[in-house]
Amino acid sequence: MTGDVAVAGAGMHPWGKWGRSFVEYGTKAARAALADAGLDWTAIQSVVGANTVRCGYPGQVAGATFARALGWQGARVTSVYAACASGARAIDTARAQILSGMVDTVLVVGADAAPKGFFAPSGGDRPDDPDWLRFRVLGATNPAYFALWARRRMAVYGDTPEDFAAVKVKNAAAGAANRHARYRSPVTAEQVAASPVVADPLRLLDICATSDGAAALVLSSVDFARRHGVADPVRIRAVSSVSPRHPRTALDLPDIATDSAAGPGPVPDAFRPSIARAAYEEAGIGPEDLSLAEVYDLSTALELEWYEDLGLCAAGEGAGLLREGATALGGRVPVNPSGGLASFGEAVPAQAIAQVCELVQQLRGRAGDRQVAGARVGITANQGLFGHGSSVIAVR
């Protein structure tokens, strides 16, 4: 076991399309987290920012950008990037600083201002960049990959478009009770079925939007939390930041092909299940210990895949778990009680931090109408482009 760090405070800026700067969103989320922790900004010894590649130079030095906006006070600054896993990498970096004894208090911030429509690669003529090539040669958008995985599930496991729609219905119901969510209206299966097909078999309401939003955490050593009168804080017990093993035989964006498994030697386990497994091993728990999970539902079908990758059920049984109601609020192990990406839309560097903010509220018993009764252990899972696994386990 690595050792725990305490969550002293959590804060968010509501998700939406606000048309303002990511710096404003992040700074407001940071102030909310500091207020939640009851700490003055000057008590923060380190700032770790999750970068955004779409917001120019300030977005690529996010730690410094937020430290400047909050008022330079001399704290160490670090900026990290790991695509959709950037927020979890920021948490991982903060945790390492605390566990090494380098600092007692770290502010973690992620914020984004997203463009409308499909995410596109960086500009220019860059034939050595796989992300550029998949758009150039194939026009393969992110939803195209989500659709390939969804169709594969239909063919291999017998999942149906109605199963996928049921994920949206479940997450929209939870998100309607979350004041930070962008979409706060219940959605019916009929509404999903009536939305236009984007990439067969997925429809608009199967695919997460791109949003503006921000999330922040104040992390501290457990001793610091105790000295400040918090005897029983939410603790982060594990952060998985594993990468794939060669050969990667699961087709993944932005790749045009998988690795070949025809070389000598055994084919390793698939990447996605290895992400949660590393977190479970570090925390010394298993999927049977979970009270709830927050997973990266970039598409409705992908949420079902995560059920299996987290070990909530065997491969191919994700839709069955959904149908029996196990993953809905009130079920055996609610998944995405926040409303998930279905209700938020993705604000890339903020999203993995927002997942942890939801665990914190749930484990504190302050999630209101979304509360998972008696929540003690929560896990988050996501995966960033280019081989960035991320999973965080929090306990109380």
Partner 1 sequence: MASARTPVVAGWFTSGDGDFRLLGTRCRGCGAVYFPREDTYCRAPGCASEELAEVALSRRGRVWSYTDGRYRPPAPYPSDPAAEWEPYTLIAVELAAERMVVLGQGAPGVTVADLAVGMEVEVVPGVLDGGAEEGGASWATWNWRPVPGQARS
Question: Can you tell me the distance from the alpha carbon of 230 to that of 218, in angstroms, rounded to the nearest whole number?
Answer: 13
Question: Can you tell me the distance from the alpha carbon of 195 to that of 197, in angstroms, rounded to the nearest whole number?
Answer: 7
Please pick, from the candidates 18, 41, 135, 386, the single residue that binds partner 1 as defined by CB under 8 A. Answer: 135
Scan residues 284-303 and list those touching partner 1 (CB under 8 A). Answer: none
Please pick, from the candidates 20, 227, 246, 366, the single residue that binds partner 1 as defined by CB under 8 A. Answer: 246
Confirm or reject binding of residue 232 to partner 1 (CB under 8 A): no
Scan residues 194-213 and list those touching partner 1 (CB under 8 A). Answer: 196-202
Question: Can you tell me the distance from the alpha carbon of 108 to that of 50, in angstroms, rounded to the nearest whole number?
Answer: 8
Rg of the chain, C-alpha, whole Å = 20
How many residues bind partner 1, per CB under 8 A?
48
Confirm or reject binding of residue 176 to partner 1 (CB under 8 A): no
Residues 6+ apart with CB under 8 A from 72: none
- Cis (ω within 30 of 0) for the bond into 334? no
Q: How far is the CB of 198 from partner 1 (least distance, A)?
A: 6
Confirm or reject binding of residue 190 to partner 1 (CB under 8 A): no
Please pick, from the candidates 149, 157, 271, 344, the single residue that binds partner 1 as defined by CB under 8 A. Answer: 149
Which stretch of DSSP H or E encloses residue 154? Answer: helix 142-157
Confirm or reject binding of residue 120 to partner 1 (CB under 8 A): yes
State how far Cα 145 lies from the chain centre.
18
Confirm or reject binding of residue 257 to partner 1 (CB under 8 A): yes
Residues 6+ apart with CB under 8 A from 366: none
Q: How far is the CB of 28 from partner 1 (least distance, A)?
A: 30
Please pick, from the candidates 101, 231, 260, 374, the single residue that binds partner 1 as defined by CB under 8 A. Answer: 260
Query: Of the two residues 1 and 262, which places its CB atom closer to partner 1 in the complex?
Result: 262
Question: Can you tell me the distance from the alpha carbon of 156 to that of 136, in angstroms, rounded to the nearest whole number?
Answer: 30
Q: How far is the CB of 323 from partner 1 (least distance, A)?
A: 22
The piece of 133-141, 206-214, 279-287, 339-347 that touches partner 1 (CB under 8 A) is: 133-141
Read off φ and ψ for residue 111, nearest 5 degrees. Answer: -150, 150
Question: Can you tell me the distance from the alpha carbon of 30 to that of 216, in angstroms, rounded to the nearest whole number?
Answer: 5
Q: Please say whether the beta carbons of 98 and 219 come within 8 A.
A: yes
User: What are the residues binding partner 1 (CB under 8 A)?
Assistant: 117-118, 120-121, 123, 125, 127, 130, 132-141, 144, 147-149, 151-152, 155-156, 196-202, 245-247, 249, 251, 256-265
